[in-house]
Structure 1
């Protein structure tokens, strides 16, 4: 539990509604591969989801589908329906309400997050995850959140954007919570590791104290395992060696500090376990493909020009 809490706190999924529409007749849109977690919620009616090389998925009223790795897909009115680009669909349909009793009500959006930081968990999820949340009040926290989300995007009022953003953050947490709770202990992935007595303690300690100069022996001690057994079990379940995960986490925290603070590089280096600015800068560039200074400047420049919806 503690490992998941630390992960969710750091990842900070920032949700955005791209379109809300009630549409009838032939319709469909295609979403290109992107660096965001995409989602579509069918509040009423039904829709179909197509993915290259995968079986067509039918979504009934109350269905939520997420694409954790931003894979390309199409959402259409019928299994063989045609699709236009998402941008074209949003431009024509966002906010439009069709009164046809057979119309489909859709809410589509995305979660932006540090994908380097979130990758071990996102990798453990299927390419597409479909959940039947239902729409009855009190059915589940997930369904209640979706119902409130629909109400907020359909009823203009002051503070809508703030409420929607908070609801989307809650939606992501409920999704992760439901998925983690349903994972079998024998699944041997990041979620099962985050709930196992041995690996969860290690993940929590890494999340809590990235500044500590962890050794393999110390991490194995936290897990209560021998060094060899710990290294093997960690790599098998998490998907990478312990120190690779530690470096990934450190660089994720460093990226957030570069974006959100004016701390000097030497201070950030110290907070994520590096004794010198030089060693930190070298590790950051190796992990992120850009120096800390360039990364900070590019993020500040992007925030000043405003967020852009990208389907690259």
Structure 2
């Protein structure tokens, strides 16, 4: 059975499983493709996912027989019953068998088949159906009650859906909590519905191994199994993001596209490796072997923010977590991200977040 769990302890457990390359003393020594793990340098994807506190909330299997249809309400409607302390809920579905259609409410239908992974990163209401024009029987309150019971462990790991006919479909469902405020560069630039084709065959198909391990844990309940399943559900999501990164079309924009770009990816590594360093556009351009104008234009085109604006937003995300999760004084938090003046840090934080550091901390403590 899948249960909701303590947000703080789960975040610490997730952090311990997120692999991060060792920081080097000088960001200029970072070499190689930013999309790969480095022996010397920060891994920005792990850095972001750790800082936004990616946390497994629910993981279960749907066994659906024709005709079938499931509808998921907007994440805000049920997030409080599966992971009360999460700012945001993202969901993914891994299609193990069969075909069907996915549709964000009010949008177009997207066909899927076995081997696909569907990700809904923005918390939109959506449906998954055996036929594109089939209206699901949807009761919002009953659905929220279902999530509540699944989170409380009152429902079996395998959820049976549909009318009992053929063909059958089978898919894994994962729901994770994370922070979106003040800044989540990974999720904020993803499409509203992301369809990723899984790697098939070969000994390096990590996603298949993770799924098999998670299902094995669910089908043979043992002590600690719930914690293992939820941690594995987080790793599955990370691997989906890595596979998406590898197949991104060249014309795509967004944070992951910037990470994959050799020049912009190098700049992102530098900013994440030393967020407190007094960076300037001149120095970033010099280290990236680009002109100021070329760096500013390409970084903004791919990432959606100018380099120095991105640095400020990322610093504020680090500060927001420190304010929420540590007893550090406001001035010490500011120094941690490069502000020698508490007043300057407070002004920047309020401008970016809309709240003073003290008010942010008060709200974060009040939500616990």
- TM class by shorter chain equals 0.7 to 0.9
TM-score under structure 1 length normalisation: 0.84
Rounded Cα–Cα distance in structure 2 between residues aligned with 1:98 and 1:227: 57
Rounded Cα–Cα distance in structure 2 between residues aligned with 1:145 and 1:11: 18
After TM superposition, give the deviation of residue 144 of structure 1 in Å. Answer: 1.8
Contact 1:11 1:117 in 2 (8 A): no
Q: Does 1:180 align with 2:271?
A: no
- SS of residue paired to 1:213: coil
Q: How does 1:163-178 map to 2 (within 5 A)?
A: 163-178=228-243
Once the two structures are superposed, what CA deviation does each residue of 1:11-36 show, in whole Å capped at 9, x if it has no partner?
A: 22222216544344544223215532
Once the two structures are superposed, what CA deviation does each residue of 1:258-302 show, in whole Å capped at 9, x if it has no partner?
A: 222111111110011112222212222222222222222322332
Q: Would the alpha carbon gap of residues 164 and 137 (structure 1) be closer, same or farther in structure 2, given more than 3 Å must change?
A: farther
Rounded Cα–Cα distance in structure 2 between residues aligned with 1:281 and 1:238: 26
Q: Does 1:129 align with 2:170?
A: no
Contact 1:28 1:77 in 2 (8 A): no
5+ residue gaps in structure 2? 1-32, 37-42, 77-87
Q: Does 1:270 align with 2:335?
A: yes
| Equivalenced residues, count | 303
Q: How does 1:284-299 map to 2 (within 5 A)?
A: 284-299=349-364
Q: Would the alpha carbon gap of residues 136 and 216 (structure 1) be closer, same or farther in structure 2, given more than 3 Å must change?
A: closer
Q: Does 1:235 align with 2:300?
A: yes
Q: Does 1:61 align with 2:114?
A: yes
1:76 to 129, 140, 146: 129
Q: Does 1:11 align with 2:49?
A: yes
Q: Would the alpha carbon gap of residues 113 and 179 (structure 1) be closer, same or farther in structure 2, given more than 3 Å must change?
A: same
After TM superposition, give the deviation of residue 73 of structure 1 in Å. Answer: 1.2
Contact 1:50 1:75 in 2 (8 A): yes
Farther-moved stretch of structure 1 (195-204 vs 132-141): 132-141
Once the two structures are superposed, what CA deviation does each residue of 1:164-202 show, in whole Å capped at 9, x if it has no partner?
A: 222122112211211111124443443232122321221
Contact 2:121 2:192 in 1 (8 A): yes
After TM superposition, give the deviation of residue 69 of structure 1 in Å. Answer: 2.2
5+ residue gaps in structure 1? 304-312
Once the two structures are superposed, what CA deviation does each residue of 1:235-278 show, in whole Å capped at 9, x if it has no partner?
A: 11111111110011101111121222111111110011112222
Which residue number in structure 2 is paired with residue 209 of structure 1? 274
Q: Does 1:38 align with 2:103?
A: no
Which residue number in structure 2 is paired with residue 90 of structure 1? 147
Farther-moved stretch of structure 1 (157-166 vs 46-55): 46-55
